[in-house]
Structure 1
Amino acid sequence: MSGAIIMLNAYFSPSDLAHVKICPSAKWSPKGEIVAGINGKGSEPDQFDTPYDIFIDEYNNMFVADSLNHRIQKWPPGSTKGATVGSMARPLVGIPYPTKIFVDSEESVYALDYGHDENNNSIVKWRRGLGNNGTLVINEGIAIGGLCGDMDGNLYISDYDKNEILKWSPGSTKGILMAGGKGRGKALIQFDGPRELYVDGTHNIYVNDEQNYRVQKWRPDHINAATVAGGIKCLNDFAVDMDGNVYTVDSCNSIVQKWSPHSSTPITVVNGDPSGIYAISFDTYGNMFLCEGNENRIRKYSIIYNDC
């Protein structure tokens, strides 16, 4: 079964970090504040059960893939509990295990459903105001590892089995190969298990090349990628700011590192405080949010210095 992407003239907004100036000397608080999931593991509106991903929109609403509760939760700024905007209502229009999420300009939520078959994942979409039942938009026997969108309304996914990146244009029913597709390997034209990905305002594609322990940057019309972060054996997620700095999550060492495009040596910006980091996101002020899946909570690391 395949499905068409229906955009209704919406566009995908990159993470708000893409619009925030993060200075080279920026610093974040060394200790994080629990802003969601303070009451531990559970299924209540103020609880999570193994949250996998977070997405913060341009209004600083936080969306959480609450995986083992089979739902997507929306937390407005300052709220003490989440509201369900997508749930497992019935087979194929719910989400057994949401692991990655993305939100467009009309607040439609796209989620990676990892629950049926790891080699046949699907993308489910919920439109704002139309209830918790989702629409299946991609279901083509693809081992989807991650998803994101660009400002033109294109949807990108990674296929960690075929080691390639595909793009779906608005209304299309077939993906176009954008990167990889050269088999599994370590060469700059190859991936080994691509997962999370991000597309910036000039259509550069950043990819978590998981089993090669690196983040790769593919420029438009370039054959080879460039490695912008490497040597990270527990690379769970990453983010990119407007200057091309890459922020990587090393879940084994509980650290977040900042990689400048002008240096191969990273700067550690959070060290040892978080536990079991699954995902990273930023709000419009540059505050950092870490999803601690093992601890069933989200922590905020406030930006305390950002003077250029």
Structure 2
Amino acid sequence: MTNQTINTGGSTLSQIGLINALFIDQPSNNIYLSDTGSYCMPTYCYGSNNNRIQLWSLVPGTIAGTTVAGIGAYGAPGLYNAIATSYGLYVDLSGTLFVSEYGNHRVTKWFRNSVSGILIAGTGISGSNLTHLSGPRGVWVDGNGDLCVVDSDNHRVVKWSMNATSGILVAGGFGRGPFSTQLNSPTAIIMDVYDNMFILDAGNQRIQQFTPENNVGITIFDGSYNSGFGLNAQSMVMDSFGNLYVADYNGMRIQKIILITSSSCTG
């Protein structure tokens, strides 16, 4: 991927628009881009969106990506060959792509070389019961193959098993709030090899850890102190040492958070 790609917005395979999410597939040395924002130049935006997921090789000299999901047009709730704005991506070991569609209130699954996605969570209509999602963001697939979804506008995280028609509440879900059983507009999720969940609870400016089968969160980092990160923190990743990196949207920076823990993470 070249600097020119980053600086020149557009819709060709050598161009991208505003990127709303990233996922690095380390075994293949590829990066997946949620190219679902507007084409933006340094001084203005065109007002058009690519509405696609792009795969780029991280090998130096790569000059173009491959579209692996979406057809470059906005995806209405009943269409599965197109996608809406996405703030969450996940790729499993088989190369299957999971796309969280904020604008369509659903998560779709895309097998390698497929031209259409499969609905695996939500209905495409915003709602608050456990058959629906409302503004989903981050997604993660655990060691059992279950999908965990940050159901942001419902202030909760829900788990969907394979072929399930409804989710199971695993964090939050008791209304928007600051207490240990509540979340406030969460945006991202990471799970470690011990099935601990780390939730970027953006509206509360904190990171919450939930241990398996426990709906009481522990605040492991309070972003409201010392300008840690703002209310619009959008994304979070973890390195192989268990350190967290938060994309602080309003602060226009990435914050590294060093965790003192015996746990480790491989993804």
- TM (normalized to structure 2)? 0.75
1:26-37 equivalent positions in 2, closer than 5 A? none
Q: Is the 8 A contact 2:153 2:185 kept in 1?
A: no
Q: Is the 8 A contact 1:289 1:298 kept in 2?
A: yes
**Counterpart for residue 114 of structure 1:** 36
Runs of at least 4 residues off by over 4 Å: 83-86, 117-120
**Counterpart for residue 228 of structure 1:** 170
- Identify which of 242, 261, 267 aligns with 2:212: 261
1:262–1:115 distance in 2 versus 1, CA, 3 Å: closer
Q: Distance in 1 between matches of 2:142 and 2:48?
A: 28
**Counterpart for residue 131 of structure 1:** 62
Q: Is the 8 A contact 1:182 1:189 kept in 2?
A: no
**Counterpart for residue 96 of structure 1:** 17
Q: Distance in 2 between matches of 1:206 and 1:262?
A: 13
Q: Distance in 1 between matches of 2:203 and 2:136?
A: 19
Q: Distance in 2 between matches of 1:118 and 1:192?
A: 24
Larger RCO, structure (CA 8 Å, separation 6 or more): 1
- In the TM superposition, residue 245 of structure 1 has moved relative to its aligned partner by 1.9
Q: Name the amino acid aligned to 2:69.
A: I
1:168–1:306 distance in 2 versus 1, CA, 3 Å: same
Q: Distance in 1 between matches of 2:219 and 2:4?
A: 35
Q: Distance in 2 between matches of 1:304 and 1:185?
A: 38
Give CA deviations for 1:10-60 in whole Å, capped at 9, x if unaligned. Answer: xxxxxxxxxxxxxxxxxxxxxxxxxxxxxxxxxxxxxxxxxxxxxxxxxxx
1:214–1:119 distance in 2 versus 1, CA, 3 Å: farther
Q: Distance in 2 between matches of 1:182 and 1:121?
A: 16
- Identify which of 179, 201, 206 aligns with 2:121: 179
Q: Is the 8 A contact 2:69 2:110 kept in 1?
A: no
Q: Name the amino acid aligned to 2:32.
A: Y
Q: Is the 8 A contact 1:236 1:250 kept in 2?
A: yes
Give CA deviations for 1:60-93 in whole Å, capped at 9, x if unaligned. Answer: xxxxxxxxxxxx8xxxxxxxxxx85952546222
- Identify which of 275, 286, 289 aligns with 2:229: 275
Q: Distance in 1 between matches of 2:52 and 2:147?
A: 21
Q: Is the aligned partner of 1:293 residue 2:256?
A: no
Q: Distance in 2 between matches of 1:162 and 1:296?
A: 27
Q: Is the 8 A contact 1:197 1:208 kept in 2?
A: yes
1:196–1:304 distance in 2 versus 1, CA, 3 Å: closer
Q: Distance in 2 between matches of 1:257 and 1:302?
A: 14
Greater displacement, 287-296 / 267-276: 287-296
Percent of aligned pairs with the same amino acid: 30
Q: Distance in 2 between matches of 1:158 and 1:214?
A: 15
Q: Is the 8 A contact 2:20 2:34 kept in 1?
A: yes
Give CA deviations for 1:93-140 in whole Å, capped at 9, x if unaligned. Answer: 222211101122221111011324788621122123342432333233
Q: Distance in 2 between matches of 1:263 and 1:278?
A: 25
- TM (normalized to structure 1)? 0.66
Give the secondary structure class of the aligned counterpart of 1:249.
Answer: strand
1:202–1:98 distance in 2 versus 1, CA, 3 Å: same
Q: Distance in 2 between matches of 1:90 and 1:252?
A: 30
Name the count of aligned residue pairs. 227
1:91–1:291 distance in 2 versus 1, CA, 3 Å: closer
Q: Name the amino acid aligned to 2:6.
A: S
Q: Name the amino acid aligned to 1:242.
A: V
Q: Name the amino acid aligned to 1:268.
A: T
Give CA deviations for 1:131-182 in whole Å, capped at 9, x if unaligned. Answer: 2432333233321322211111101112233322211111111111212226
Q: Distance in 1 between matches of 2:238 and 2:37?
A: 27
- Identify which of 162, 174, 190 aligns with 2:104: 162
Give the secondary structure class of the aligned counterpart of 1:233.
Answer: coil
**Counterpart for residue 176 of structure 2:** none
1:221–1:282 distance in 2 versus 1, CA, 3 Å: same
Q: Name the amino acid aligned to 1:169.
A: F
